[in-house]
Chains A and B, each alone.
Chain A
Amino acid sequence: MGLRLTPHPSPLTSIKMAQESTENVIDQPEVLKPRMITIEISGKKYEVPEGVTVIKAMWYAGQEVVRGVGCLGGFCGACATYYRTKDDPKVKTCLACQMAVQDGMSFTMMPPFPARKAIYDIQQLKDPKQDLFNLYPEAPLCRNCNACTEACPQKIDVREGVWKAVFGDFQSVSDMFMDCVMCGMCTPVCIADIAPNLVALYVSRAQGAHFAEKPAGLETRIKEINDGRFNGEWQKILSMNEKELAEHCATVK
């Protein structure tokens, strides 16, 4: 057995495979004989197996991680990390649960960044496109440096999004930022002190609450329920005994 980190023991090692041929086995030489590589975690060198995720490398190196781990599935944005690969001067960003380590890699987790979040009552907004300038007066001060876009591990064109927000194209912003995991890596790099992810969140919420069409069918269904349209059916179902209910269920395909 090759590399085995505690988080994911294989459930199948105890199951005898009916067919022990090599016919349907995927080549993974790195798994059979993991190559140990040298990485730097917050400036300190460690030997870890090649190809594990950045978070697993930290666990392997013996580090306790409390802040900086969340969903472990690439959605919560807790594990925002700066990294640099061997001999490359460019410092890049990643989600630590979604990035494999390689030899010579150097990384540090991003500390919580004290960006200012505007406080608002989304439903009470009178003119959300204008209110943007009161809530986030720094938003129109973007100097077009594009650092936010380069910092985004979700590959969102953040700079473009900020401009679209300022120009009132809330629909586009909400589409573009659907991938945003709120890791906040666009924020420390901004020379105009804009928190683009927070601006986009405001814009997306305003789009949903104020500009998206109200779904008529939903209102109809709520009214039907309140008016008791389904009461007869409920009575029929809930008065059935176990056997009758099972038979009824079998008829619903």
Chain B
Amino acid sequence: MDIHALQQIVHKTRDARRKQTLQKFSPADRDQLIHKYHPDFRAKAYRPLRFGPNEGEKTVVELATLLEGDSGIQDHADLAPLYTTDVLVVGGGGAGCAAALHAHGSGAKVILATKLRLGDSNSVMAQGGMQISVAPEDSPVTHFIDTLKGGHMHNDHDLLKVMVEEGPSIAKWLIELGVLFDRQADGNLHVKKGGGSSKPRLVTCSDYTGLEIMRVLKDEVINQKIQLLEFAAAIELLSDDEGNCTGAIFKDLDTQRLVVVAAKSVILATGGIGRLHIQGFPTSNHYGATGDGLCLSYRMGAKLAHIDTFQYHPSGAVYPEQLIGALVTEGMRSEGGHLVNAQGERFVNELDTRDVVSSSIIRECEEGRGIRTMSGRVGVWLDTPLLDVEHGSGTVEKHFPAMVLQFERFGIDISKDPVLIYPTLHYQNGGVKIDTNSETNVKNLFVAGEASGGLHGRNRLMGNSLLDLMVFGKRSGLTAAGRAGSMKQGKLTLKHLERFRAEARKHGNVSGVISPMVLPAYTRKVG
């Protein structure tokens, strides 16, 4: 059928739906729904790790293969360093920039290396906002409770307390650097309510929050003259005789040469895993989201946490084909957008947590109440025109300029017609286990941001990622820099790799897979 004909049911049922209030699921119903429909519970997609720090624990097959993969570096590689630094930051997104700026600010020599350009990351795409308890009726404790509920009570309490308490001072730092947060008429920060939150707590820069923060942080990294290594992909870490981290080996993607960097501390801010397309899902993630930091840390002996749980963002675009997987921001639901099935019915409280909303969309589609596309996809409607009806004409355009522009390019006016959405692989809930200084169980190896694990439990609450990046980027940077003055550069060896390889051989691992992946293989093999 013509798409406009199919959309009619959304227009026709709008008035009736506006009068409806949908209760959130009870804890029991919510658990049942998730267990039945959430991709985290598809047993066939998982297998136990055969060796390494998380031996016996299950994760998705795609990640397990890479974690057990071999290094591209040979045992007797030349380890003469081209660069020597106090703090080596790997990754140019939010956590990497925050780490580099804070380490540099406390007087350390810093190198920031990234396999793409500075700032090419998921952070730049964060649209929904950043959770910070600034409203008078809100508090860090309430932020803590909401996050804990969202994470199914599995969050690391120490990490979480640190994050919610440092939120307001992070906002202050960003404002001082020139980030333009949305304001109320009285000059205070405007806050929006996010899914799974009991209080309005999202600070925003329209629907460009991540972009605005990243524009400023990138500019600041350059202004501070922090040394950059762009198009340099980390492919192995270095360790001393005690197993402490002492640097990293990069592959220059322009020249294919290896570059060794000696560092007193290494901060991995390498982001998530969306481009592994776990369980065949499309993803909202950037080109480089291939979980490199997880593989590097795992070979060093760093323990991972919650690596069996991933976040599927409820609203990835399903139509048009060109936008598949791209996010339709949660802000649209925060402002009242309904999710509507092919029968014109709502089926979930749209502001429930992401795992619940995603599971319910999958349920609707599996039970035949979805709208299908000819390329074999299925989805439900997000009633975007409803926002203009509720809040006045022009609301969609004013509050969601990025979304409007993105769909307009393909001839779709989201203020007039609903968009078709389905969950898209969005975030790795777990990662490398860290302490409150963002350090792993491997000394002088820090991990910050999405690559780290424990903070978000089994489901990250929307808006907590940007804050995570800033808080733990800062803590890793400050801790690493604080240590630099009183320590010597350690020896550069590959002893961790020898140990890892010996273990792999013992378990008969001969997959031949080299990790990290660095970039996904999208180029069609021609001829």
Contact = CB atoms under 8 A, between A and B. Distances in A.
A218 B172 contact: yes
Given A122-B220, A213-B183, A225-B168, A71 B124 contact: yes
A250 B231 CA distance: 47
Which 3 pairs of residues, A with B, have the shortest CB-CB distance? Answer: A205-B178, A19-B368, A213-B187
A215 B366 CA distance: 48
A217 B136 contact: yes
Nearest to B312: A11
17 contacts: A2-B375, A9-B282, A10-B280, A18-B368, A26-B3, A28-B319, A69-B116, A76-B286, A117-B222, A182-B218, A209-B175, A214-B175, A214-B187, A215-B187, A222-B169, A225-B168, A249-B153
Given A8-B282, A70-B120, A242-B153, A208 B179 contact: yes
Interface stretch (B257-265, B398-406, B460-468): B398-406
Contacts of A10: 280, 282, 375-377
B26 to A, nearest CB: 10
Interface in B139-179: 139-142, 144-146, 148-149, 153, 157, 161, 165, 168-169, 171-172, 175-179
Given A179-B208, A215-B188, A6 B522 contact: yes
Given A6-B521, A51-B321, A233 B286 contact: no
Nearest to B206: A178
Contact of A31 (B145, B206, B375): B375
Contacts of A119: 222-223, 225
B235 to A, nearest CB: 15
B114 to A, nearest CB: 11
A216 to B, nearest CB: 6
Interface string A91-122: 00000001110000000000000000101111
Interface stretch (A36-44, A58-66, A82-90, A161-169): A58-66
B183 A71 contact: no
B192 interface: no
Contact of A174 (B116, B133, B180): B180
A230 B402 contact: no
Contact of A25 (B148, B178, B277, B372): B372
B374 A28 contact: yes
Given A71-B287, A205-B219, A215 B175 contact: yes
Interface stretch (B323-331, B332-340, B475-483, B502-510): B323-331
Interface of A: 1-15, 17-19, 22-29, 31-32, 51-53, 56, 59-67, 69-76, 78, 98-100, 117, 119-123, 154-155, 174, 178-182, 201, 204-209, 212-222, 225, 230, 233-234, 237-238, 242, 245-246, 248-250, 252-253
A231 B428 CA distance: 32
Interface of B: 1-3, 6, 27, 39, 116-117, 119-122, 124-125, 133-136, 139-142, 144-146, 148-149, 153, 157, 161, 165, 168-169, 171-172, 175-181, 183, 186-189, 198, 205-206, 208, 210-212, 215-216, 218-220, 222-223, 225, 231, 253-254, 277, 279-282, 284-287, 319, 321-322, 324-327, 342, 365-378, 401-402, 405-406, 409-410, 420, 519-527
A153 B321 CA distance: 21
Given A3-B375, A209-B175, A249-B149, A73 B326 contact: yes
Contacts, number: 287
B523 A62 contact: yes
A231 to B, nearest CB: 10
A7 B223 contact: no
Contacts of A213: 183, 187
B140 A230 contact: yes
B29 to A, nearest CB: 14
Given A70-B287, A214-B187, A237-B141, 19 more contacts: A1-B376, A9-B280, A10-B280, A12-B377, A18-B367, A24-B342, A26-B2, A26-B372, A52-B322, A67-B254, A75-B124, A76-B124, A76-B125, A205-B177, A215-B183, A217-B134, A218-B168, A252-B146, A253-B198
